Amino acid sequence: MKLTDFISTARVETKASYADKRAVIKALARLMADGTALEPEVFSDALGAREKLGSTAIGKGVAIPHAKLAEIDQPVVAIILLQGELDFEAPDDEPVDIVFGIVTPPEATDVQMIAHFAKYLRDPKFLNALRSAATPQDVVDTLQRKCTLPPE
């Protein structure tokens, strides 16, 4: 199971502007709820509860809010590329401009999926390609191209 198996343009937002981390979480939840039988609040509550345990920012301007939900049977992924930067309490104290939201069923191995994907996020060229993506399709294409190769 790869993150890219669950990415679609309907769940990608580019050039987004939000006031704070909470607003980004709500936007991720709205994107995630699209196409499911669940309300955005279900996703927002799960992601928000996880974020209260500690920041999901991993450094280099990237955050990966994630959670588990019994109400879903396969992972749901949403991506927001911010026009500006937001404080996500990252370990490197850098603001975030790329946010990947991942919600999985309880039995899914989301930690392994996130860890595998995080290897790609170490590549500055990949991050720059994501940051320069102008449309949701550009984001999906960039992810599909990069994530079919072994992580560097």
Q: What is the pLDDT of residue 81?
A: 97
Cα distance between residue 73 and residue 54, in whole Å = 26
Q: What is the pLDDT of residue 2?
A: 72
Domain boundaries 3-146, corresponding CATH code = 3.40.930.10
| Residue 112 identity | Q
Q: What is the pLDDT of residue 150?
A: 52
Q: Domain ranges in the chain? A: 3-146
Q: What is the pLDDT of residue 95?
A: 96
Q: What is the pLDDT of residues 12-51, one digit of tens each?
A: 999 999 999 999 999 999 999 998 999 999 999 999 999 9
Looking at the whole model, is its pTM more than 0.95? no
Burial grade of 54 (CB within 10 A; 0-12, 13-18, 19 or more): exposed
Cα distance between residue 16 and residue 121, in whole Å = 20
Query: Rounded to 10 degrees, what is the CA torsion of 107, 57, 24, 40?
Result: 10
Q: What is the pLDDT of residue 109?
A: 65
Residues of the chain with pLDDT under 70: 1, 108-111, 148-152
